């Protein structure tokens, strides 16, 4: 069990008024590749969302990103996934630029965006079969067990479009359980989830990091992850 180590990010507003943030994260003792951001900047529609952003996340660590709407949280996560190119700076995986190791990195990545990213006409079981075919399946965890862990046992054979928004979100979360990825990047993973579901998702993240994984997530509310190394990065506008 890892010792809890929570510290707020160092956030600075430069004299020229541009947003700037640095997580100031120390290196972890655990072995394995790290996800590193070096001098990231993001400009959208001539507006600087953030600049000179540097941090590193390694095995057993969680980075929670927060900030007001429009501060660049989703843009940052999309950059970390390789879906968006930063205006400046670069993302490294295992010390190598993402552009050089993209294929290897994507095998290690699980991304949950604002939209669940599931096929509405398919059942939860069918969605997970596709996910396990596209990513590395966790052989020790079957599809039914993955659905049980997110509270969907009993709904496995109905079309996702007949489920509630929260249940649809749980189908997406079940992909995390059913596939093998070191890096979880989660954009508002608690959206549409009830109180009990929030505790279930927190338990999934805690188990993932205790097993040597890492996570970067956004949330407007504090996340309870006892026993995990949780650090906060606050984006300002």
- More confidently predicted of 236 and 13: 236
0.75 surpassed by pTM: yes
With a CB cutoff of 8 Å and minimum separation 6, the contacts of 159 are 120, 121, 122, 123
pLDDT at 127 over 50: yes
Distances (CA, A) of 224 to 17, 148, 207: 33, 21, 13
Over pLDDT 90: what percentage of the chain? 73
Give the residue-averaged pLDDT of 32-56. Answer: 95
Distance CA 94, CA 35 (A): 7
Output DSSP code: residue 164. -
Q: Are 108 and 81 in contact (CB under 8 A)?
A: no
**pLDDT per residue as tens digits for the range 177-197:** 999 999 999 999 998 989 888
pLDDT band at residue 236 under the 50/70/90 scheme = confident
User: Whole-number mean pLDDT of the chain?
Assistant: 86
pLDDT band at 26 (very low <50, low <70, confident <90, very high): very low
CB atoms near residue 112 (< 10 Å):
21
C-alpha 73/C-alpha 232 separation (Å) is: 12
CA distance 120 to 160: 5
Tally of residues, the chain:
237
Residue 21 has pLDDT above 90, yes or no: no
Q: Which domains does the chain have, with CATH numbers?
A: 1-108+183-192+211-237 (3.40.50.300)
Q: What was the pLDDT predicted at 182? A: 95
Q: How far is CA 55 from the centre of its chain?
A: 15
pLDDT for position 30: 56
In tens, the pLDDT along 92-121 reads 999 999 999 999 999 999 999 988 899 999
Tens digit of pLDDT for each residue in 203-221?
999 999 999 999 999 998 8
What is the three-class DSSP state of 130? helix
pLDDT surpasses 80 at 167:
yes
d(C-alpha 168, C-alpha 82), whole Å = 25
């Amino acid at each position: 069990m890892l010792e809890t180590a929570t510290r707020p990010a160092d956030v600075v507003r430069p004299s020229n008024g541009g947003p700037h943030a640095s997580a100031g994260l120390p290196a972890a003792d655990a072995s394995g590749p790290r996800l590193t951001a070096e001098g990231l900047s993001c400009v959208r529609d001539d507006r600087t969302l953030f600049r000179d952003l540097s941090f590193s996340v390694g095995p057993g660590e969680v980075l929670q990103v927060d900030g007001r709407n429009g501060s660049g949280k989703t843009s940052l996560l999309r950059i970390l996934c390789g879906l968006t190119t930063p205006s400046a700076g670069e993302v490294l995986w295992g010390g190598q630029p993402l552009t050089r190791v993209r294929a290897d990195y994507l095998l290690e990545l699980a991304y949950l965006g604002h939209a669940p990213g599931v096929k509405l006409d398919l059942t939860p079981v069918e969605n997970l079969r596709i996910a396990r075919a596209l990513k590395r399946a966790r052989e020790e965890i079957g599809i039914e067990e993955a659905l049980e862990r997110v509270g969907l046992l009993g709904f496995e054979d109905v079309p996702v479009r007949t489920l509630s928004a929260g249940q649809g979100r749980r189908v997406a979360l079940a992909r995390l359980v059913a596939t093998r990825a070191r890096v979880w990047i989660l954009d508002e993973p608690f959206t549409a989830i009830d109180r009990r579901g929030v505790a279930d998702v927190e338990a999934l993240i805690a188990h993932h990091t205790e097993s040597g994984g890492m996570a970067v997530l956004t949330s407007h509310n504090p996340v309870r992850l006892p026993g995990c190394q949780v650090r906060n990065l606050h984006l300002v506008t």
